[in-house]
Structure 1
Amino acid sequence: MKKRFLAFFLAVCLAITALAVPATAAGNNTAIQTAVSLGGLTTEQTADLSAPLTRGQLARLLTAFSAYRTSTGSQSSIGTLFTDVDSSSAWAPYIRIAVQNGWMSGYTDGSFRPDNTVTLEEACTAALCLLGYDITTLSGSFPAAQLNKAEALGLRAGLSRSQGEALTLEDGAVLLYNALTANTKDGQVYATTLGFTVNNGKVDTSSVLLSNLKGPFVAGASTTLPFEPVAIYRNDEITTSLALNQYDVYYYSESTRTVWIYTRRAAGRVTAVAPSASAPTSVTVAGTEYTIADASAAYTLSSLSGGGVGQVVTLLLGMNNEVVQVLTGQQADAAFYGVVQTSTRNLVESNGADVRQAVSVLCTDGVTRTVNVDKQLNYPAGWLVEITVDAEGEHIQALDPKSIAGTISADGTSLGSYSFANDIEILDTTSEGVAGTIRPSRLSGVTLSESDIRYYTLNENGEIDRLILDDVTGDLWEYATLDDVKNLTTVVGDQIDSAIQSALGTSTGGGSTGSSAGSSVSTLVSTLLPSTSDILYGIIDGSITSTLWSKITSSTSQLASWLLNLGASSTTGPISDILSFFGSGATYVCYVDGKQVSYQTSVKYPVVAGGVAVSKSTSGGVKNMIQLMPTIIDHLGPAYVMSGDTRYETADDMQVYLWYSGQYFPTTLSQVNTEEYTLIGWYDNFGCAAGQKVRLLIAVKNN
């Protein structure tokens, strides 16, 4: 069950952060958010959590934290409950439930006094009754007996109130949240009796929110929600637009006033259903298997309705890409755009031996689709293609580039004069076919040239709804910290030295040649053999300036010049050895995300130490390796760093390492600072329009 709701959990976490909880309540956020999600507090009340907790509000909290939280709407509205609470009162259903279950009671004069404030002992007594305790059997007298028992059960954890003090809304939420992890009279953890999950003494908030989730629903042409939402998520990304288009899948939570909208589709010919044709629970379309979450969808895809393998369909997908509804006929027509990942030819023997070619395409919606094409066609990795689905099946064709230029607005909602559609899909790609979806906010304020945009489409409103980029973010590269390069180059230096010295020792009348060769060897060794220590400390003490760093990391051209000079008089001996070395592969030992990895390359790249960027093919082979640019960091911000007066944004997945005595140790940003450590940021500086982000940070302890 947990795995099926991973995507939802992410959206839930986003929704929780949208609640307006004051900074003073930061320590009790979980309790407040749980109270809101269960309907015990409104989102408006979170703006004033220091307001007094009243008896009416306590009745609402008790009901929300009980099995009756979904029953308030069914409470009878006939008759007067108390002299001061009639059936029209907003508190009436909660008070009725609280009184009927013995959690609270009225006064002898027939009143309930819903606006009276609640003291610590009154609230603790009500919570004990909620847990099933008979307060008349407690050891001692009121209120000491009730307060002592509440303390023993952990109900007062996080509360600073003492006997006789009035509670606030925040206090009430904390008290009832504590009740969830307390033991009932029967010895059970109270939250488990409500169907919630408790792990290591903490309530799984996602299981609480799931209990209030309504849906999935499929929007019609004029669907409206029963409430005005305060948080909206489209395909698990926050948005301000509530636009519900036909066939959108949506879910909502009335208690949190949150809605989740999904526009994802899967279209193509059904190639498999499982576990049986008559009762499928999963379906495979365009090479991807989807779980069926709706009984009517399962029937449409079953043999009982004439559906199943061979049927051309469009699947409407909800949370976790589960199938909510199935469209057939003309409704199933669809088009997808993306970049080829792989093309493979395989033997098939269904009607005699033959070869079938399958083309795998990563589309702008983030889904990888596989389409079977003529075995004689050629679709290399990196090609832009369009996949169309109609009653005849799936078709694929190459796309010619279609580009525009302009600046993305600061709020990430437009490109030049074109507005972005609410459900815009953006795919960043490389020429090798590596690709990944990105959020519009990732490009905020970035100016894109025509060479940055490979393709785009417009919807019926003239808005950009699909955008395919050409390595704009730099996020498709793999970033690594190169281990000590001296381990790689010392052996080579020794080999070259030995070869040249051997040549010098056997030359005749070559004084000038020997001098020239010796000078060249010195130049080559100084270029190739700096250690990590030399480089890192050179950056720290300023002896390696940006100019010198560029010289070091552009050694390919220097080596070419050196080799040409040396090769003017010889094409055998040492020059042959050197050319052979630089024309052959190498092994680069690096750290990526805290783990040591090795890159096997067919050529050698001009990288020496610190951060490097690695470009890969879709099969995982190294296509290029570029040295990152270093900078000393003076200040750490929440999502940026400062180097002097220059500001650098940090990558979301920035790696942090402590360097000590020739070894890298992975750590976290919270463990280093600019007072006790010298921090070196390594940022990409190789031309990505939305790049120049600090990808790696290396900390060197000052002592």
Structure 2
Amino acid sequence: MKKRFLALLLAVCIGVSVLVLPASAAGSNTAVQTAVTLGAFSTEEAAGLSTPLTRGQLAKLLVAFSAYHDNANTQGSIGTLYTDVNGSSAYALYIRIAVQQGWMSGYTDGSFRPDNTVTLEEACTAALTLLGYDITTLTGGFPAAQLNKANAIGLRSNLGCTQGQTMTLEEGAVLLYNALTANTADGSVYGTTLGYTVTNGQVDVSSILLSSLEGPFVASEGESLPFVPEAIYRNGSVSTSAQLSAYDVYYYNASAKTVWIYTRKAAGRITAVSPSASAPTSVTVAGTSYTIASSSAAAQLSSLNGGGVGQVVTLLLGMNNEAVAVLTGDEADEVFYGVVQTAARSLVEENGADVRQAVAVKCTDGVTRTVNVDKSLNYPAGWMVKITVNAEGEQVETITKTSTSGTINADSTALGGTALADDVEILDTTSEGVAGTVSPSRLSGVTLSDADVRYYTTNENGQIDRLILNDVTGDLWTYGVLDDVKNLINNTTTTTSGTTSSGMTVSTAIKKLTGNDSTTGTTGSSTTTTTDDSQIISDVADIVLPSTGDLLWGLVDGSIGSSLWESVTGSTDKLASYLLKLGANNTSGSLSTVLNYLGSGADYVCYVNGKQTTYKTSTKYPVLAGGIAIGTSTSGTVKSMTQLLPVVIDKVGAASVMSGNKKYETADEMQVYLWYKGTYYPTTLSQVNGEEYTLIGWYDGGLRAAGGKIRVLIAVRKN
């Protein structure tokens, strides 16, 4: 477990520019991971952290946390050091450095005793010497002087051992990790003297981990790693396969036995290089700019060597999507699949005035590629296309639906009876062209129908390597909480007492719409044949009712149950059914009146991600209150709104909630609000997760295969 945690920490650190941890909060895990990364512990030693720390191991720890950690092997270990340490000893070179630097010393009988255990005071003395302190000048005698000084500068933080006790491997790692944030004898922070970033007692762990990273390397056909890895990451995700294919970009940390493999590529015609054609540091391919990460790639793209603008290339991308190598000619041939985001025509005047059309395509690898296409063709947003890159340039062609179905297994390695490739690319899309990548784990246990899969491809092993989905996750929608609707009701009003224009309370209006109330009207179980325009508008307003406190309290106090709410808002065809009923009985032009009413639009005032936002629409949507989902085009235009369904929450877990005996998963980006007197205050779950709150979750109805998640949570204080 500790090995896997180390690898995860390394992957996270490398994926961000700065990762800092307070020394006081670092704990043993971070200290051990850092010790392993710096080569102080083998993975076998890291698996036995409770074993006693020996003098040989302490010497190795001291060197690992010193300026010699990168070049210890060059210091040499030839010759007899001590009677019990010869040149073949695993600790010989570390003992040589530790003794030469005065951090440790041998015994008068000519021995070093590398297998002897180390006490707290002995380890603190060595660490203080590493930091440049003159032990002879400390106030008091041994060991009190050393222990007091170590405590004063923070070396003993998170250590439970006391004077005279033997330290463990784990405690030795914590002591040396604490040294990174401690002051040296001359007042400098020790970690900064090693080139690490330490700010306000915080260590930039990524700088330590990156210092031991080797790469990038570009794999050739049949190439293998120089060691058997214990942790593998492919394109940033945990993987089980360390197999390298030609043109894979990889990095590794030998001491941590961890490897990172990247198969991402950028292909197309170069449209720009900067800052100069002769010495480029970045290159733009298919509308996206990439930093050039190697001198060999820069030289190949330089105009001095015939590269640059107009050249068709494939960039091999490594960490942070940096261009590591460049392929040209037949090697540059690539095919990408995705959906059209936008298509735009513009004037160009290169060889006389003309019109050029550029199509932006969100591809399954998550990259949006922009390609110039025939100006006479149309590429609507949402269309599936294939981009082919070869020596002739880039071509875009539409592709037709190719479906499959089945359940994604628990470990996200297969869809039905077909295996998923280790580097499978999954893209969820909407009909409007909104798209986003999906990790396989997000779909674990999800059953996909033919309608859910728009397209897929397989590799040479018959494994699915690309999937384009049809709004399967629901994650592409914008979620929020409805605060107010302006211009919704033209000649009818909703009063502050929670009544509609026809004098009904909101609760009664909902019950009337579902036939659960004896009140007469045009939509209840006991309907009238009234076709008065004002009454019809009132009835429609009851369906597309704005947010009111009465409605929310109806959910809190139970007067409006979830099942009753769902019968009204479960689908948007409630309003359509009413209009059809009017159309069948229309003798006075009332249908036209309603259609005009609906077409007048509205301003929907919502809280989205904690900020108040207004959506102006040209039509009215049947959303009532609380959580709503907003569907947009790639340009941000509202195309649809649907009502989220409420559930009163009894228990809250780490990634799910319970309502009675039913479990609901929470979305990763779930929004949390405190509601008080009609106002929503953005907060966090930890602040309202207590018995003094009533919690109402709003979920997306489970209409999507991987949906049904709580998207918005509203808390109301019980007092």
Q: Taking structure 2 as the reference length, what is the TM-score of the superposition?
A: 0.89
**Residue 399 in structure 1 maps to residue 399 in structure 2:** yes
* Matched residue, 1:5: none
CA contact (8 A) 1:481 1:609 kept: yes
Higher alpha-carbon deviation: 578-587 or 465-474 = 578-587
**Residue 585 in structure 1 maps to residue 601 in structure 2:** yes
How many Å separate the matches in 2 of 1:597 and 1:242?
47
* Matched residue, 2:520: none
* Matched residue, 2:552: 536
* Matched residue, 1:654: 670
CA contact (8 A) 1:343 1:381 kept: yes
- 1:14 offset after TM fit, Å? 8.8
* Residues 421, 528 of structure 1: alpha-carbon distance in 2 compared, 3 angstrom cutoff: closer
AA aligned opposite 1:593: N
How many Å separate the matches in 2 of 1:202 and 1:498?
58
AA aligned opposite 1:588: Y
Q: CA RMSD in A?
A: 2.6
AA aligned opposite 1:334: E
**Residue 154 in structure 1 maps to residue 170 in structure 2:** no
* Matched residue, 2:89: 89
Other structure's SS at 1:441 match: helix
* Residues 473, 102 of structure 1: alpha-carbon distance in 2 compared, 3 angstrom cutoff: same
- 1:442 offset after TM fit, Å? 1.0
How many Å separate the matches in 2 of 1:645 and 1:175?
49
* Matched residue, 2:142: 142
Q: Any unmatched runs of 5+ in structure 2?
A: 1-7, 17-24, 504-527
Deviations 1:89-135 (A, max 9, x none): 21112111111111001111111111222111111110111011111
AA aligned opposite 1:592: V
How many Å separate the matches in 1 of 2:545 and 2:86?
87
Higher alpha-carbon deviation: 577-586 or 491-500 = 491-500
- 1:562 offset after TM fit, Å? 7.2
How many Å separate the matches in 1 of 2:375 and 2:83?
84
- 1:515 offset after TM fit, Å? 10
AA aligned opposite 1:139: T
**Residue 568 in structure 1 maps to residue 567 in structure 2:** no
- 1:331 offset after TM fit, Å? 0.5
**Residue 256 in structure 1 maps to residue 256 in structure 2:** yes
AA aligned opposite 1:311: Q
Other structure's SS at 2:43 match: coil
Deviations 1:15-48 (A, max 9, x none): 99xxxxxxxx984322222222212223333333
How many Å separate the matches in 2 of 1:604 and 1:421?
45
* Matched residue, 1:683: 699
Higher alpha-carbon deviation: 182-191 or 345-354 = 182-191
Other structure's SS at 1:461 match: coil
AA aligned opposite 1:476: L
Other structure's SS at 1:618 match: coil
Q: What does 1:201-220 align with in structure 2 at a 5 Å threshold?
A: 201-220=201-220
How many Å separate the matches in 1 of 2:384 and 2:494?
46
* Residues 216, 609 of structure 1: alpha-carbon distance in 2 compared, 3 angstrom cutoff: same
Q: What does 1:267-286 align with in structure 2 at a 5 Å threshold?
A: 267-286=267-286
* Residues 75, 212 of structure 1: alpha-carbon distance in 2 compared, 3 angstrom cutoff: same
Q: What does 1:196-235 align with in structure 2 at a 5 Å threshold?
A: 196-235=196-235
CA contact (8 A) 2:702 2:709 kept: no
AA aligned opposite 2:316: L
Deviations 1:385-423 (A, max 9, x none): 100011111111011111111111111111122111111
- 1:306 offset after TM fit, Å? 1.1
- 1:547 offset after TM fit, Å? 3.6
Q: What does 1:10-409 align with in structure 2 at a 5 Å threshold?
A: 11-13=11-13, 27-409=27-409
- 1:516 offset after TM fit, Å? 7.2
* Matched residue, 1:695: 711
AA aligned opposite 1:560: L
CA contact (8 A) 2:54 2:117 kept: yes
- 1:157 offset after TM fit, Å? 1.7
Deviations 1:38-61 (A, max 9, x none): 122233333332221211111111
- 1:620 offset after TM fit, Å? 0.5
How many Å separate the matches in 2 of 1:498 and 1:142?
85
Higher alpha-carbon deviation: 671-680 or 644-653 = 671-680
* Matched residue, 1:630: 646
- 1:371 offset after TM fit, Å? 0.7
* Residues 436, 309 of structure 1: alpha-carbon distance in 2 compared, 3 angstrom cutoff: same
- 1:678 offset after TM fit, Å? 1.5
Other structure's SS at 2:493 match: helix
- 1:459 offset after TM fit, Å? 0.9
CA contact (8 A) 1:483 1:591 kept: yes
Other structure's SS at 1:591 match: strand
AA aligned opposite 2:220: G
* Residues 351, 524 of structure 1: alpha-carbon distance in 2 compared, 3 angstrom cutoff: closer
CA contact (8 A) 1:60 1:94 kept: yes
Deviations 1:613-644 (A, max 9, x none): 11110010011100011111122222111111
* Residues 521, 328 of structure 1: alpha-carbon distance in 2 compared, 3 angstrom cutoff: closer
Q: How many corresponding residue pairs?
A: 674
CA contact (8 A) 1:520 1:562 kept: no
How many Å separate the matches in 2 of 1:299 and 1:253?
28
AA aligned opposite 1:328: T
* Residues 403, 490 of structure 1: alpha-carbon distance in 2 compared, 3 angstrom cutoff: closer
Other structure's SS at 1:44 match: helix
* Matched residue, 2:523: none
* Residues 369, 178 of structure 1: alpha-carbon distance in 2 compared, 3 angstrom cutoff: same
**Residue 618 in structure 1 maps to residue 634 in structure 2:** yes
* Residues 565, 538 of structure 1: alpha-carbon distance in 2 compared, 3 angstrom cutoff: farther
CA contact (8 A) 1:499 1:577 kept: no
How many Å separate the matches in 2 of 1:104 and 1:617?
68
Q: What does 1:506-521 align with in structure 2 at a 5 Å threshold?
A: none
* Residues 660, 498 of structure 1: alpha-carbon distance in 2 compared, 3 angstrom cutoff: closer
How many Å separate the matches in 2 of 1:346 and 1:519?
51
AA aligned opposite 1:214: E
How many Å separate the matches in 2 of 1:522 and 1:423?
55
Q: Taking structure 1 as the reference length, what is the TM-score of the superposition?
A: 0.91
How many Å separate the matches in 2 of 1:647 and 1:26?
35
* Residues 14, 416 of structure 1: alpha-carbon distance in 2 compared, 3 angstrom cutoff: farther
How many Å separate the matches in 1 of 2:105 and 2:500?
97
Q: Any unmatched runs of 5+ in structure 1?
A: 1-7, 17-24, 502-511
* Residues 362, 10 of structure 1: alpha-carbon distance in 2 compared, 3 angstrom cutoff: farther
How many Å separate the matches in 1 of 2:537 and 2:323?
67
How many Å separate the matches in 2 of 1:583 and 1:684?
26
* Matched residue, 2:428: 428
How many Å separate the matches in 1 of 2:718 and 2:177?
46
* Matched residue, 2:688: 672
**Residue 599 in structure 1 maps to residue 615 in structure 2:** yes
How many Å separate the matches in 2 of 1:87 and 1:32?
28
How many Å separate the matches in 1 of 2:627 and 2:360?
32
- Identity rate of aligned residues, in percent? 66
* Residues 303, 566 of structure 1: alpha-carbon distance in 2 compared, 3 angstrom cutoff: same
How many Å separate the matches in 2 of 1:265 and 1:599?
38
Other structure's SS at 1:50 match: coil
